Structures are given as structure tokens and as C-alpha cells.
């Protein structure tokens, strides 16, 4: 995969963590790209390329991943909807091997570039994958998912993906910025045989502080 990003005006950001830091290359004016890259799907529904933003949920989940890092050493991890790749990069820094996935090839180019510049791409694979049609033939002890449950049509495919790809005692880590519809997703999870624990952390991004919910999800015993 080419990790050249010449087609975009770029900016750089350092995400500071408790013990380390991640340097990210991001798109400079994501609002402009959101309009330019938006399109209608075959049913006329507007598709917005949200990968062009770095979301506060990925910073919250990256901090949580850093905190539990010793548990992740040598773990084989799947990240869905990885966007710029921040969360998975922190998992790699903690010694995990991460399969970064996103429906958008362009997002994966950035994730790959960012993994390269943080020196972790030897611990990473990049796979274009839509969670409606997942493509693996193995299970994962950890699945990372930062800000992927914002629209209800995503919920059933994501729950199905957990049922299929999480090992029997595996943990899926979700994060989202306390949107009101998120409770619907977690109700669906409990209705389909999962349990979860939630914690909340403040995250400041672009001078705005939001409360990010971190959910640790497992199969019910
Ligand atoms: C709100 S963004 C979150 C990106 C990143 N995780 C973060 O928190 O900064 C949602 C991500 O999910 C990806 N996505 C949307 N629909 C998808 C699908 N059906 N399958 C896989 N990825 C999808 C988008 O391309 C985007 O990268």
C-alpha cells in the first residue's frame, strides 16, 4: 500500500499520553473534504466520510489502551473503523499486533502512514473491511472500536462481528462521546448475550472538552 498523502493538505498533531506520545498526520481542513467526498449510496442515503476527522473517542480509547497496556503485549488485536489509526498505534506501542481496518482505503493510507512515522508498522496490518461484510478466518482476544456506533444501521453488523470474531473470553473496547442513541446499541449488546462495564473520561480536542464513554464488553458468563 502507498502511504504517500500528496492529495491532501496536511497538518500534524502530537497526542500526549501518560507515558508516551503519538505523532499523527491529519487532514488540515476536514470540513472542506467532508463536503467534497460526501456521496449518496445506491439507496440515496447520504454517506459522509467521517474518517477525515480525528475524533475525541479515539483519544479517550488510546488513553485507556495505554492504561491496560501490559495486558495487550503480544495480543492479536482487530481495530474496526480505525480512521487515522491512533488507538491501534498505541496498542502496537504496547507490544500488540494490530489489524487496522476501515471501509475507506483513504483512511487506511493515513493509518499506515501514521503507524510508519511512529515506528510500529512492523506490528501492523492494514485491511480494507466493511463491517457489513467482514473477511477474517480467525478470532481476536481484543477488538478496538472508537466512535463507530453513531448510526443505528451500524449496530447489528457490529454486534454480529463481535459474535463471530471475539474469542470466548475476549474483550471488545468501545468508545463514544455519550451520544443519546448509544444506549440503544448497548441494549442490543446485552440482549444478544454480552455484558459491559462503562467508565467516563474527559478529553479535550480543539479546545473543547467532552466526556468520552469507554465500554469494556465481554460475553456474558
Ligand atoms: C467517526 S469515524 C471514527 C474514526 C476513528 N476511529 C476515530 O475515532 O477517530 C468512523 C470510522 O468508521 C469508518 N466506517 C464507517 N462505516 C464503516 C463500515 N461500514 N465498515 C467499516 N468502517 C466504517 C469510517 O470510515 C471512519 O473511519
Domain of 82 in residue numbering reads as 55-219
Which pLDDT does position 1 carry in this prediction? 47
Classify residue 36: in a domain, yes or no. no
Question: At residue 214, what are phi and psi to the nearest 5 degrees?
Answer: -115, 130
CA of 148 to the centre of ligand 1 (A): 6
Question: At residue 86, what are phi and psi to the nearest 5 degrees?
Answer: -55, -50
C-beta of 93 in contact with ligand 1 (< 6 A): no
Nearest CA to ligand 1 atom 17: 103
- Number of Cβ within a 10 Å radius of residue 113: 21
- Number of Cβ within a 10 Å radius of residue 108: 23
Classify residue 8: in a domain, yes or no. no
Nearest CA to ligand 1 atom 20: 130
Classify residue 2: in a domain, yes or no. no
Q: Label the pairing between strands 46-47 and 39-40.
A: antiparallel
Classify residue 116: in a domain, yes or no. yes
The CATH number covering residue 96 comes to 3.40.50.150
- Number of Cβ within a 10 Å radius of residue 33: 18
Tens digit of pLDDT per residue, the chain (221 long)? 445 687 888 999 999 999 899 999 999 989 888 888 888 878 888 888 899 999 999 999 999 999 999 999 999 999 999 999 999 999 999 999 999 999 999 999 999 999 999 999 999 999 999 999 998 999 999 999 999 999 999 999 999 999 999 999 999 999 999 999 999 999 999 999 999 999 999 999 888 999 999 999 999 99
Closest atom of ligand 1 to 49 CA is 25
Which pLDDT does position 84 carry in this prediction? 98
Domain count of the fold of the chain: 1
> Which of 25, 42, 83, 212 best tests ligand 1's pocket when mutated (most atoms within 8 Å of CB)?
83
- Which residue(s) pair with 195 in the sheet? 218
Residues 100, 82 contacting (CB under 8 angstroms): yes
- DSSP letter string over the chain? -----TTS-EEEEEEE-SS-EEEEEEES-HHHHHHHH-EE-TTS-EE--GGGS--HHHHHHHHHHHHTHHHHTT-EEEEES-TT-HHHHHHHHTT-EEEEEES-HHHHHHHHHHHHHTT-GGGEEEEE--TTS---SS-EEEEEEES--SSGGGHHHHHHHHHHHEEEEEEEEEEE---TTHHHHHHHHHHTTEEEEEEEEEEEETTEEEEEEEEEEEE--
CA of 29 to the centre of ligand 1 (A): 18
CA of 79 to the centre of ligand 1 (A): 10
CA of 51 to the centre of ligand 1 (A): 6
- Rounded Cα distance between 99 and 181, Å, is 28
Which pLDDT does position 43 carry in this prediction? 81
- Rounded Cα distance between 197 and 145, Å, is 15
Classify residue 171: in a domain, yes or no. yes
> Which of 132, 148, 165 best tests ligand 1's pocket when mutated (most atoms within 8 Å of CB)?
148
CA 23 to chain centre: 17
Which pLDDT does position 47 carry in this prediction? 82
Which pLDDT does position 3 carry in this prediction? 54
pTM: 0.95
Amino acid at each position: 500500500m502507498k502511504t504517500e498523502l500528496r492529495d491532501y493538505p496536511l497538518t500534524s498533531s502530537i497526542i500526549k499520553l501518560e507515558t508516551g506520545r503519538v505523532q499523527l498526520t491529519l487532514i488540515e481542513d476536514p470540513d472542506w473534504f467532508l463536503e467534497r467526498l460526501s456521496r449518496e449510496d445506491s439507496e440515496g442515503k447520504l454517506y459522509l466520510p467521517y474518517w477525515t476527522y480525528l475524533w475525541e473517542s479515539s483519544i479517550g480509547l488510546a488513553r485507556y489502551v495505554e492504561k491496560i497496556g501490559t495486558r495487550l503485549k503480544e495480543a492479536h488485536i482487530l481495530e474496526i473503523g480505525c480512521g487515522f489509526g491512533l488507538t491501534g498505534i498505541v496498542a502496537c506501542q504496547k507490544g500488540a499486533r494490530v489489524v487496522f481496518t476501515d471501509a475507506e482505503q483513504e483512511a487506511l493510507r493515513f493509518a499506515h502512514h501514521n503507524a510508519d512515522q511512529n515506528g510500529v508498522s512492523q506490528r501492523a496490518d492494514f485491511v480494507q473491511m466493511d463491517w457489513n461484510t467482514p473477511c477474517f478466518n480467525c478470532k481476536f482476544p481484543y477488538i478496538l472500536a472508537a466512535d463507530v456506533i453513531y448510526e443505528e444501521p451500524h449496530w447489528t453488523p457490529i454486534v454480529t462481528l463481535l459474535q463471530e470474531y471475539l474469542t470466548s473470553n475476549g474483550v471488545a473496547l468501545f468508545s463514544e462521546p455519550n451520544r443519546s442513541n448509544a444506549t440503544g446499541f448497548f441494549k442490543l449488546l446485552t440482549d444478544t448475550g454480552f455484558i459491559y462495564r462503562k467508565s467516563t473520561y474527559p478529553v479535550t480536542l480543539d479546545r473543547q472538552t467532552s466526556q468520552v464513554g469507554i465500554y469494556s464488553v465481554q460475553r456474558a458468563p
